[in-house]
Amino acid sequence: MRRQRAPSEFGKLIAPLYKLIDGAWQRMHWWVATMAVLYLLSGITIVRPDEVAVVLRWGRLVGDTPALQEHGAGLLFALPRPIDQVVRVQTKRVREVAILTLAADASPVEPSNENEDEDAPQQSGETLDPLTQGYAITGDHNIVQLSMVARYRVRDAGEWSFYGPTAENVLRVEVTAAMVRSLGEMGVDGVLSDKRKELIALATHRAQAGLDAAHSGLELSSVELTRLSPPQALAANFSAVQSAFITAETKKKEAQEFAERAVPAASAQADADVQNARADVAADLANATGEAEAFKALEREYRANTAVVRERLYRDAVERAISTSNVRWVPPPVGGSYHGLRITVGAPGSRTSPTPGGDRP
């Protein structure tokens, strides 16, 4: 028969505590089991239809590929915290964030000393403080200030889960850097007038490349310039330049429209004049050629029969002269006698009067 060992001093000390725990377990064991079950069920998450969920286990993304990492709508079973962390992301929602990094400070700066020189330039309009005001420099070394609104959505929930809400800070940095670089490659006249779309497209492309390189999981939907203008101190000068540019473009378009109307009309008139001149040349040349041929033929006949041709030419000349003359009988004077016939040669339609007195034939 074994001999019972006497309880030690430690056993005597923990015996009351053991009895207390044993009694509590007898009375509350079902509560503890319920809490344990609830703790295990706390890892169940409901994913909505417009959401995608990812699981971080001890801070590491679960799944080797995006298809295994992202979980769609429905129930998602995961281990309870702090083992697993479920991050739900609304991938279809388009968010927007205002970017004022390059904008002017709208709040006026009050002078700290009432006796400050009144002629000193104030920060609100006559000067620019780079510590409190943002700005960018264009390719032709002009200063502009702008404010933007960037619209984006979460494209890769796995990458976004490591940034969370701080991904907007990454977005601000990338969009600002892309806009500063794009402005540095363009002139201020184009930026303020007809190259804004080109500027926005170039900055959006570069910002998206930066977001992809940073593994932000974001996709830019659009970048909107809510304000783009020179500093307040130079606003009047830039407005004058802009007005002159618009006036010059208007005059240029008017000149082009006038040229489009005048040049075809002048070309048509020139072509018509050339055709008329060619027709006149052809007619005159044919007439001159005919007359020359007739003269040569007459000259050959004259050499062959000189007397006959001379008489014929004489008679033709007399007939032409008589055919264009007026022939009339002149009556004798009253109480006188008829002395003869008067022939008056004159141009057709000319008026001739008989000479009083007895004219000789």
Q: Which of 230, 247, 264 is the last residue of a domain?
A: 230
In a domain, 221, yes or no: yes
Supply the pTM of this predicted model: 0.52
Total domains, the chain: 2
User: Do 73 and 192 have their domain in common?
Assistant: no
CA distances from 338 to 225, 352, 354 (A): 118, 19, 13
In a domain, 326, yes or no: no
User: Do 66 and 100 have their domain in common?
Assistant: no
In a domain, 260, yes or no: no
Buried b (16+ CB within 10 A) or exposed e, 110-125: eeeeeeeeeeeeebee
How far apart are the C-alpha atoms of 327 and 319, rounded to whole Å?
13
User: Do 39 and 149 have their domain in common?
Assistant: no
Query: Which residue segment(s) compose the domain that 194 sits in?
Result: 94-105+130-230
User: Do 184 and 147 have their domain in common?
Assistant: yes
Q: Please, how many CA atoms are within 13 Å of residue 23, restricted to the half-sphere of its CB?
A: 6
What string of pLDDT tens digits covers the 361 residues of the chain? 455 555 566 666 677 777 777 666 666 666 666 777 677 766 777 777 767 777 777 767 777 777 677 776 767 777 677 777 777 777 788 889 999 999 876 444 444 444 444 444 444 456 777 777 888 999 988 888 999 999 998 888 877 777 777 888 999 999 999 999 999 999 887 888 788 999 999 999 999 999 999 888 899 999 999 988 888 777 777 778 778 878 998 999 999 999 998 989 899 999 999 999 999 999 999 999 998 998 888 888 888 888 888 888 888 888 888 777 766 666 666 665 555 545 555 555 554 444 444 444 3
How far apart are the C-alpha atoms of 149 and 196, rounded to whole Å?
15
Buried b (16+ CB within 10 A) or exposed e, 337-356: eeeeeeeeeeeeeeeeeeee
In a domain, 161, yes or no: yes
User: Do 140 and 223 have their domain in common?
Assistant: yes
In a domain, 25, yes or no: yes
Indicate the length of the chain as a whole number: 361
